Each structure stands twice: as C-alpha cells, then as structure tokens.
C-alpha cells in the first residue's frame, strides 16, 4: 500500500487536498459560532449544576459556615407578596444574608419574589409542598413527593438556582427524609432559637425571646417567618434585633453544607 501511494503521486495530491478541505471545514464549523451552541452550553451548565448538587451530609445542621460569633438567620413559609419584600428591605438595610425556607406552591405562585431573594444573595431552602407538620408519620412515598416536588417548584421559580437546604415542617424530620434531601443536594436544616414570631405576642416579646436564647447557643440558627399570616411583628423585630446583634459582636453566615 505504501509503494502504491509513493508511485501514484497524483492520488496523493488529491487525497491531501481532500484531507486539508475536511480539516479546514471542521475548523470553520467550530469557529463559526465561537464555540459550542447555546443548547450545548446550557447542557454543560446543567450538568455542572447537577454536579454542584452532589450528596451532602444528612445530619441536621445548626452551625454557621462563618467562624467566630456568628448567626444564621432563617425565614420560613414564604414567599409572600406583602411580607417577603419588607423582610428583604430590612435584611438589605443591615447587610445581612439569610436562608429562605419556601413552600413549593408559594414559590410557584410568586417566581418574581424567589428571583429577588436569589438576586440579593440569599439562599433557598425546601419547606415542602403542604407544610404538613405530621409528615414524619406519613409513608415514605408521601415524604418523597412533598420534598422533591417542592424542590422542583422552587428551583423552577428561581430560574434554576439551587435549593441548598431542606427544613421539615415543625421539625418533623425522619431518617428517610434527611437522607432523601441530602441525596438531592439539600442539607437538613434545623433551628435552635425560635423567635415565636408566629404567635400572637408583641414585638417586645419576640425581642426578649431571641435575646434571652442567644447566650445559651453556639453557632445558633434563628427562626423567623415571612408567610402564613400577618408578619408585621417579624419585620419590626428584625429591624430592632439585627442592629442589636451586630452591636453585640455577632456576624451572619449561612448554615454549613
């Protein structure tokens, strides 16, 4: 075969030209659009996103990822068109980032608010579809539907931003739900300071509850709400508590992943 090509130089010339044409055409095809197509790029980004949602620890986290005297602020039961924007305003005023634990249908109904939460640098948490505080006693199939459907709703409303945590309604975690959440990239998130802002007390009572609990906790995660009713007391108490926390030397982080 080698001798044949060596003799028939005309064939070599034609073959070489064909090879060059193929190489040039291939180069032009790749350079013509400056890289992969939009669909290909989105596919790569999607795979990277899935990779970033790798399995996390299934234990319930309270500790902050920020060293020193640090708090995690968490906001549950929204988003709500009245109260979520007001909570966001207060957080922005004091340059505090928080985790928003959202109900799936609420996120689906208010995607603009979910996107505002993400754009402001806050993180997302799955708080199930129905907020059933008895779900820990329900079948695993029910728990799975509640958790995974809500995750999809929230991430779709957020434009693809990852839901990084899972908080069981009323703390109704089970070994199954914790592992399921972790396998889908969501760290189970607890709390160890309950502001009781969902009860009918005054702003002063909410403040006293949080201030009284802080000295007894290391790396505390504080629970507030922006949904489920009138949250004016939450807004007012955050407006007082956040600057007080800062004056006491506390910083603000996110729960460990």
* Catalytically annotated residues: 76, 225
CB of 77 closer than 8 Å to CB of 113: no
Alpha helices by DSSP H, listed for 94-231, are: 104-109, 111-119, 140-157, 175-183, 203-213
C-alpha to C-alpha distance for 67 and 102, rounded to whole angstroms: 27
- CA dihedral over 189, 257, 220, 228, signed as positive or negative: negative
C-alpha to C-alpha distance for 63 and 100, rounded to whole angstroms: 16
C-alpha to C-alpha distance for 248 and 69, rounded to whole angstroms: 9
CB of 125 closer than 8 Å to CB of 101: yes
Q: Pick the closest to residue 190 from 96, 138, 256, 103 (CA basis).
A: 256
């Amino acid at each position: 075969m080698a001798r044949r090509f060596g003799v028939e130089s005309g064939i070599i010339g034609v073959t070489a030209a064909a090879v060059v044409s193929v190489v040039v055409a291939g180069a032009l095809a790749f350079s013509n659009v400056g890289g992969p197509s939009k669909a290909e790029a989105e596919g790569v980004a999607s795979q990277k996103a899935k990779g970033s949602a790798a399995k996390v620890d299934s234990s319930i986290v309270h500790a902050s990822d920020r060293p020193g005297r640090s708090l995690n602020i968490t906001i549950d039961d929204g988003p709500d068109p009245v109260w979520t924007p007001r909570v966001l305003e207060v957080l922005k005023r004091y340059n505090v980032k928080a985790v928003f634990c959202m109900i799936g249908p609420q996120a689906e109904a208010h995607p603009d608010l979910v996107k505002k939460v993400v754009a402001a640098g806050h993180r997302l948490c799955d708080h199930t579809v129905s907020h059933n505080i008895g779900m820990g006693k329900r079948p695993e199939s029910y728990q799975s539907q509640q958790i995974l459907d809500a995750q999809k709703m929230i991430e779709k409303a957020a434009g693809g931003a990852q839901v990084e945590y899972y908080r069981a309604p009323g703390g109704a975690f089970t070994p199954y739900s914790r592992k399921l959440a972790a396998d889908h990239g969501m760290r189970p998130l607890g709390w160890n300071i309950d502001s009781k802002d969902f009860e009918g007390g005054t702003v002063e009572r909410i403040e006293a509850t949080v201030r009284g609990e802080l000295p007894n906790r290391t790396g505390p995660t504080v629970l507030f709400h922006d949904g489920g009713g009138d949250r004016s007391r939450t807004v007012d108490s955050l407006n007082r508590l956040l600057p007080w926390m800062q004056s006491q030397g506390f910083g603000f982080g996110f729960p460990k992943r």
